Chains A and B, each alone.
Chain A
Amino acid sequence: MLQPLFLVTVARLTVRGLLGRRRGILLLIVPVLLLAISVIGRFSHADRHDLTVNILGQLALGTLVPILGLVVGTGVIATEIDDGSIVYLLAKPLPRWKIITTKLAVAVVTTWVFAAVPTLLAGLVLYGTKDNLAVAFTVGTLVAGAAYSAVFLLLGVVTRHAVVAGLAYALVWESLVGNFVKGAKTLSIQQWGLSLAKSVAADGAIDATVAVRVAVPLLILVTLAATVFASVRLAGFTTVAED
């Protein structure tokens, strides 16, 4: 029933490759840390609102989501390209874009389960439902998680150094450059997520630099463009002949 958009067998292989063996447990470490910190924070005497915004903004949206997006986005395709097993998918009469949309769907859902759900729980533990903070940051992590997945999946298709390139983007561009150069924040998935979080939360509860009317089109554009470009590149996939 999902066949028009997704390939069930490709999805099954991808999920097993991604979550099978020890990687599934590794993916759990960061969200568990987030929840542990939230529980500790609940008993702290610091200003609860600021603490929640800091933990959910810096730790969840700023760190957990890009890390998971990177591990998962590259994990759904770059590992297969690296070890060459991708030929078994490509030597089949399958539209290339369907392979990409299927793998993207797996990446997005995985990022949501391991990043967005823990963010919601952490928010509820820290601040309950006040100011709509927990839901707001959850929405932020959902959209940012999808965009990160698409971008990092694209990196996995176009370069053999996808993890390095992805880290450079997340750490150097979003965190470092973004902190010093204001304009850089306009082109940051993290800031777009924050912008959406702000629009969902109670007035004044969250600060964001990018306006939501800018963030939403950019999020959609980047996610779609990355998916289309990844499909095009996969259609012209070339293996390295070991001659």
Chain B
Amino acid sequence: MAVITIDKVSRWFGNVVAVNDVTMSIGPGVTGLLGPNGAGKSTLIHLMSGFLAPSAGTVTLDGAPIWRNQEVYRAIGLVPERESMYDYLTGWEFVLANAELHGLADPGAAAIRALRLVEMEYAQERRTGTYSKGMKQRVKMASALVHDPSVLLLDEPFNGMDPRQRLHLMELLRQFGADGRTVLFSSHILEEVEQLARHIEVVVAGRHAASGDFRKIRRLMTDRPHRYLVRSSDDRRLAAALIADGSTAAIELDWQERALRIQAINFQGFTTLLPKVAKEAGIRLYTVSPADESLESVFSYLVAS
């Protein structure tokens, strides 16, 4: 049982706060670290892999501090986001070197096993500099797995992978999770996280926004209030008709835009209500546009809730 515990951790760079008072614990199984770009996912993974000191709080693996403690690497396998990896080595030489650096009793056997696991034996005699992005990702995986770690940390592992490679990596990570290892990967794509992780941690703007089962997170995201910008032949009368229904929470008459700003509670209900109400009242709709469908706004709703 390997558990990474992040306890009241903040990390700032100068006067920029990258991670703000985050507390979470990552246990066995696959966990997805979800958040928009720049949310602090990478900073968290750097903190968990011992490449960044927390400005405040503690990051521990089974009680042992991770920062300035190289012994933790006996249990941790790290797949960094950056691609450079001794381009002049072949895949075999690279994985073997990693096995040797771990001081394994039989580095050759460990390297063979790791390369077989990621199905890269066919290209192991080629230099890693000639690999495609997906191949590099798999050899990086092999190097992280060579010492059979109980914790696997992956920073945006699916970036730049084609769908087939993505499925293969997901299958591999699912297997590790099922074996009882602690697997944590970061991603900014909800669908990606959903496919793989039962447990999701959401970070937004450096804050821990939500934590739990993916179904719960999914519900939070679809049930959030949706905002629309609506222009019609008679905004004021439309507003009056709409507010009578339970699916809208707030309506604002925006004089400058000459439009209605509508906040809907029930996404399904509102989208069927709007045309019906307009038709009954004889009002023509000119514009109906969602005002905040960006990923950031979806996430920032989670922070507020």
Q: Does A93 contact B (CB under 8 A)?
A: yes
Query: Which residue from B43, B70, B84, B100 sits with its C-beta under 8 Å from A241?
Result: B43
Contact B97 A242 (CB under 8 A): no
Q: Does B143 contact A (CB under 8 A)?
A: yes
Q: Beta-carbon contacts of A4-44 to B below 8 Å, as 1s and 0s?
A: 00011110110011001100000000000000000000000
Contact B86 A13 (CB under 8 A): yes
Contact B18 A239 (CB under 8 A): no
Q: Does A45 contact B (CB under 8 A)?
A: no
Give the interface SS of chain A, mostly helix, strand, loop or mixed: loop
Q: Decide: A94 near B101, CB < 8 A? Known: A13-B86, A88-B85, A243-B38.
A: yes
Give the interface SS of chain B, mostly helix, strand, loop or mixed: loop
User: Chain A: which residue is nearest B43 at the CB level?
Assistant: A241
Contact A243 B42 (CB under 8 A): yes
Q: Does A46 contact B (CB under 8 A)?
A: no
Surface stretch bound by A, among B45-53, B111-119, B241-249, B284-292: B45-53
B140 smallest CB distance to A (angstroms): 9
User: Number of contacting residues on A, CB 8 A?
Assistant: 31
Q: Which residues on the A side are within 8 Å of B43 (C-beta)?
A: 241, 243
* Complex CA distance for A96 and B41, rounded to whole angstroms: 27
B162 smallest CB distance to A (angstroms): 23
Q: Which residues on the B side are within 8 Å of A88 (C-beta)?
A: 85-86, 97-98, 101, 143
Contact B53 A236 (CB under 8 A): yes
Q: Which residues on the A side are within 8 Å of B37 (C-beta)?
A: 243
Query: Which residue from A8, A16, A93 sits with its C-beta under 8 Å from B71?
Result: A93
Q: Does B210 contact A (CB under 8 A)?
A: no
Q: Decide: A85 near B70, CB < 8 A? Known: A9-B100, A238-B53, A241-B46.
A: no
User: Chain A: which residue is nearest B102 at the CB level?
Assistant: A92
Surface stretch bound by A, among B75-83, B190-198, B218-226, B255-263: B75-83
* Complex CA distance for A89 and B101, rounded to whole angstroms: 7
Q: Does B267 contact A (CB under 8 A)?
A: no
Query: Which residue from B52, B76, B86, B103 sits with its C-beta under 8 Å from A17?
Result: B86
Q: Does A90 contact B (CB under 8 A)?
A: yes
Q: Which residues on the B side are within 8 Å of A89 (C-beta)?
A: 101
Q: Which residues on the B side are within 8 Å of A93 (C-beta)?
A: 70-71, 73-74, 102-103
User: Chain A: which residue is nearest B144 at the CB level?
Assistant: A91
Q: Does B40 contact A (CB under 8 A)?
A: yes
Query: Which residue from B51, B100, B102 sits with its C-beta under 8 Å from A90?
Result: B51
Contact B102 A83 (CB under 8 A): no
User: Chain A: which residue is nearest B98 at the CB level?
Assistant: A88
Q: Does A95 contact B (CB under 8 A)?
A: yes
**Extra A-B contacts (7), CB below 8 Å, given A8-B100, A91-B76:** A83-B82, A84-B84, A87-B80, A88-B98, A88-B101, A93-B70, A94-B101
Interface set of A (CB-CB < 8 Å, partner B):
7-10, 12-13, 16-17, 20-21, 83-85, 87-96, 235-239, 241-243
The 16 sampled A-B contact pairs (Cβ below 8 Å) are A7-B101, A13-B89, A13-B97, A21-B88, A84-B84, A87-B82, A88-B98, A91-B73, A91-B76, A91-B78, A92-B73, A94-B70, A237-B51, A238-B52, A242-B81, A243-B41
A-B pairs, 7 with minimum CB distance: A83-B84, A84-B82, A9-B100, A239-B51, A241-B43, A92-B101, A243-B42
Interface set of B (CB-CB < 8 Å, partner A):
18, 37-43, 46, 49-53, 68, 70-71, 73-74, 76, 78, 80-82, 84-86, 88-89, 97-98, 100-103, 143
